[in-house]
Structure 1
Amino acid sequence: MTHAPAHDPLPLDPRDAPVPRYGSGSLADVLPAALAGLEVAAPGTGLVLPPADRVCLFLVDGLGWELLRAHPGEAPFLSSLLPGSRAGDGAPITSGFPATTATSLASVGTGLAPAAHGLAGYKVLDPDTGETMNQLRWEPWTEPAAWQPHPTLFQAAHAAGVATSQVTAPHFEHTPLTRVALSGGTFLGRLDAGERMDLAACRLAAADRALVYTYYAELDGAGHRFGVDSDAWRGQLAHVDGLARRLAEQLPPRSVLYITGDHGMVDVPSTEDARFDFDEDWELRAGVARLGGEGRARHLYAVPGAAPDVYAVWREVLAGHAWVATRDEAVELGWFGPPGTPLAARVRQRIGDVVVAMTGDSAVVAGVTEPKESALIGMHGSVTPAEQLVPLLEVRT
């Protein structure tokens, strides 16, 4: 299949793509800035947050800045914390690239950009096996400590004497992603999200110095399945708003609650001009040995010697729909970390020979080899504001 638009748009210049604000306003900067007030050693950051003795981070999967601002009726409490509201003084931060859960959670938990922690996408090449690895599901399995060897900030806080807890769903306790990104201190599993809010508040109150992380996944699930323009998604946002209020109202003295997301989301129309199907398009398949990433952010691992041709063809086929960069370009431009950040060999080989970041509402799907992912309505991963910008809302006592 080929795509022949009525007019011939020029390929997008990757130098024009928005770049995450690593080091000053990204997810990787939140905990280092918060832990500075607890006198816990953490990676340096230009983000400054007022100190508090008790810190709670509530991460809502799929809570994008633009989506939140567009739905004040469903989220009156969260909207009251936005800039321009009576109480709000927060501003958006960026997720990091790709804007996807595994990458973002690793950035949150380690305080490092993807260039350093190495979870550089939804699916990336495992150089040791030559196969793509799903870093969210950790399939096929590989040794977590070798894949992501850096300690977490929760481990650092616990070692510094801060009462540290993760309060989330029980099935996350022993996952490799939790181990490499969120482990340290005490894990407390609760199925009911309301109980998680109550327990998080109790853990804050139980110590003079505390760090508590809690998480809610279902907003993201509703967006993927039904789209962010659905009643199901709006209902989930209203539920999140109630959970945030419930937690905020129970904060003990000298506490701060930060509410953020790991990425935003866009709905991708089920039309041929929006969904480029890798499995059906011989031009896109030519020279590609492995397809990584996800619909909105792709890693392309080329057959030896074919990378220049793959780069040229994808730029032409996706002209007007994507920023297409070589690995070196993407790294130098600051997609995976601050420009000039050196990449360890273990990380460099995970990044595609060619990296693709979609714009607008387009995606590169793979209908045969990735049937479940290709059927999703809501998608994320790219560098657009709809996916990159997430809130950093604050409640203090």
Structure 2
Amino acid sequence: MAATTALPEMVLPAYGSASLTDLLPTVAARLGRRLEPERPAPLPLPEGERWVVMLVDGLGWDLLRSAAREAPYLGGLTRTGTAITAGVPSTTVTSLSSLGTGLPPGGHGMAGYMFRLPHTDEVLNALVWDSAAAPRDVQPRPTVFEALKDDVAVSSVAPARFRGSGLTFAALRGPSFLGLDDEGDEDRRIELIVEAATTARRTLVYGYERALDHTGHVEGSRSEAWLRHLIRIDAYCERLRQALPDDVRLVVTGDHGMVDVAWADQLVVEDEPELLVGVHRLAGEGRLRQLHLADAANQLAGVTARWRDRLGESAWVRTRDEAFDEGWFGPADERVRLRFGDVLVAMRGPGAVMTRSLDRELSLLGMHGSLTSAEMRVPLLVD
């Protein structure tokens, strides 16, 4: 893998003070509903009884700041807004679950885009939910939407294809789902959000925009195509703000940032079979690969040492216990704790750990999942 001279520092998740986990509990508090102590309300949000929370998939703070001139509305809001952190892994499944439940990953157990279910030993792809496991069994904790819906009109405006999906039900269940058959129809999207936000005295509307992330994965987060989508989303968010009544608070955030990984910087594990000795299952993603071992009691030290020797300073290689002790995931019971890898390989440099068993991932350019600032920090913008 290519050498780098300026490796980034680790950005730990700020659970309970300034993280995506804290957003909806803080909104709930502004709506007059304090949740249990494990879901604090620490974010500096204004008072308000009507809220729209717009999540732009892949909108990292660092990326937005670097393109602020091209995105004048959102870029302007960064002057009064702030950065908060995603959880770990910095990936959509985990972040949407943290947003929806108000809990860190150790609390909700959605341990990555692909994670192992210990009771069946299967690796669940939670984006497509390729398992017979029931979403409520995998993630049984109540969502913030469920906690609010008796007192607040809660709605979700998202592509119709996500209605009833495993991830939606696990992470975001509770609101009335208003599906968009054509997610490119921004006029209809604005119409639905405005109607939902004004339907009662107290409202909470969740909106989701996915094109920026998809384009970044395929074209790269520094590409012209990515920038065109950001410019479009910037204009859309400004139009949405103009359409909403003044008493509705608009919050724009992201679920993770992104870094671009050149193909030359991909480590394909099948090309270095010594790294797979003792590894029973691969989970996670390229920027934070999770290794489940065949015999962790006897193999943990050896596997960890081999990966550390191979990657050196270009990755943070931790055992599960070390990662929990450093605060990567928040507290967890043993049932959830075992979903995280015995060994976690979080890339610090520009590379990724890939496998030919997931050949579609080999073509990706933009990636995320690790603990660098570019991946972990997301905007908290309020207008």
TM-score tier, shorter chain, comes to over 0.9
Partner in structure 2 of residue 86 of structure 1: none
**Per residue, is there more helix in 1 or in 2?**
2
Looking at structure 2, the residues matched to 357 and 185 of structure 1 have their Cα atoms a distance apart, in angstroms, of 34
Partner in structure 1 of residue 346 of structure 2: 357
Could you report, residue by residue, the CA deviation over 1:78-130 in whole angstroms, capped at 9, with x for unpaired residues?
A: 111112xxxxx111000110000000000000000001000011111111221
Match of 2:219 among 215, 218, 226: 226
Match of 1:111 among 87, 95, 102: 102
How far has the Cα of 1:192 moved from its partner?
A: 3.2
Matches within 5 A, 1:79-94: 79-83=75-79, 89-94=80-85
Partner in structure 1 of residue 41 of structure 2: 45
Could you report, residue by residue, the CA deviation over 1:109-165 in whole angstroms, capped at 9, with x for unpaired residues?
A: 000000100001111111122121112211223111111111111111112x21110
TM-score (norm 1): 0.91
Partner in structure 2 of residue 308 of structure 1: 301
Partner in structure 2 of residue 167 of structure 1: 157
How far has the Cα of 1:356 moved from its partner?
A: 1.3
- Larger mean CA deviation between 383-392 and 40-49 belongs to 40-49
**Residue 388 in structure 1 maps to residue 376 in structure 2:** yes
Looking at structure 2, the residues matched to 207 and 323 of structure 1 have their Cα atoms a distance apart, in angstroms, of 48
Q: Given residue 280 of structure 1, which amino acid in structure 2 is its aligned partner? A: D
- Give the paired residue count: 374
Unpaired stretches in structure 2, ≥5 consecutive residues: none
Partner in structure 1 of residue 202 of structure 2: 209
SS at match of 2:33: coil
SS at match of 2:12: coil
How far has the Cα of 1:301 moved from its partner?
A: 0.5
Looking at structure 2, the residues matched to 6 and 163 of structure 1 have their Cα atoms a distance apart, in angstroms, of 52
**Residue 71 in structure 1 maps to residue 67 in structure 2:** yes
Could you report, residue by residue, the CA deviation over 1:364-385 in whole angstroms, capped at 9, with x for unpaired residues?
A: 011x201111210000000000
Q: Given residue 307 of structure 1, which amino acid in structure 2 is its aligned partner? A: L
Return closer, same or farther for 1:369/1:6 CA change in 2, 3 Å cut-off: closer
SS at match of 2:59: coil
**Residue 129 in structure 1 maps to residue 120 in structure 2:** yes
Say if 2:33 and 2:148, in contact at 8 Å, map to a contact too. Answer: yes
TM-score (norm 2): 0.94
How far has the Cα of 1:45 moved from its partner?
A: 3.3
Return closer, same or farther for 1:97/1:6 CA change in 2, 3 Å cut-off: closer
Partner in structure 2 of residue 371 of structure 1: 359
Q: Given residue 62 of structure 1, which amino acid in structure 2 is its aligned partner? A: G
Say if 1:125 and 1:292, in contact at 8 Å, map to a contact too. Answer: yes
Looking at structure 2, the residues matched to 213 and 79 of structure 1 have their Cα atoms a distance apart, in angstroms, of 21
How far has the Cα of 1:198 moved from its partner?
A: 2.5
Say if 2:304 and 2:343, in contact at 8 Å, map to a contact too. Answer: yes
Could you report, residue by residue, the CA deviation over 1:327-375 in whole angstroms, capped at 9, with x for unpaired residues?
A: 00000100012xxx2x212211101111111012111011x20111121
Looking at structure 1, the residues matched to 32 and 235 of structure 2 have their Cα atoms a distance apart, in angstroms, of 32
Looking at structure 1, the residues matched to 34 and 178 of structure 2 have their Cα atoms a distance apart, in angstroms, of 25
Looking at structure 1, the residues matched to 74 and 132 of structure 2 have their Cα atoms a distance apart, in angstroms, of 38
Partner in structure 2 of residue 242 of structure 1: 235
Q: Given residue 220 of structure 2, which amino acid in structure 1 is its aligned partner? A: G
Looking at structure 2, the residues matched to 173 and 57 of structure 1 have their Cα atoms a distance apart, in angstroms, of 18
SS at match of 1:129: coil
Partner in structure 1 of residue 58 of structure 2: 62
Looking at structure 2, the residues matched to 107 and 94 of structure 1 have their Cα atoms a distance apart, in angstroms, of 11
**Residue 251 in structure 1 maps to residue 244 in structure 2:** yes
Say if 2:10 and 2:373, in contact at 8 Å, map to a contact too. Answer: no
Say if 2:256 and 2:375, in contact at 8 Å, map to a contact too. Answer: yes
Measured on the aligned residues, the alpha-carbon RMSD in Å equals 1.8
SS at match of 1:253: coil
How far has the Cα of 1:210 moved from its partner?
A: 0.4
Say if 1:74 and 1:235, in contact at 8 Å, map to a contact too. Answer: no
How far has the Cα of 1:6 moved from its partner?
A: 8.7
Say if 1:165 and 1:188, in contact at 8 Å, map to a contact too. Answer: yes
Identity of aligned residues (%): 45
Point out 4+ residue stretches in structure 1 off by more than 3 angstroms. none
Could you report, residue by residue, the CA deviation over 1:193-224 in whole angstroms, capped at 9, with x for unpaired residues?
A: 41212311221122111000000001000000
Q: Given residue 366 of structure 2, which amino acid in structure 1 is its aligned partner? A: G
SS at match of 2:357: coil
How far has the Cα of 1:73 moved from its partner?
A: 3.2
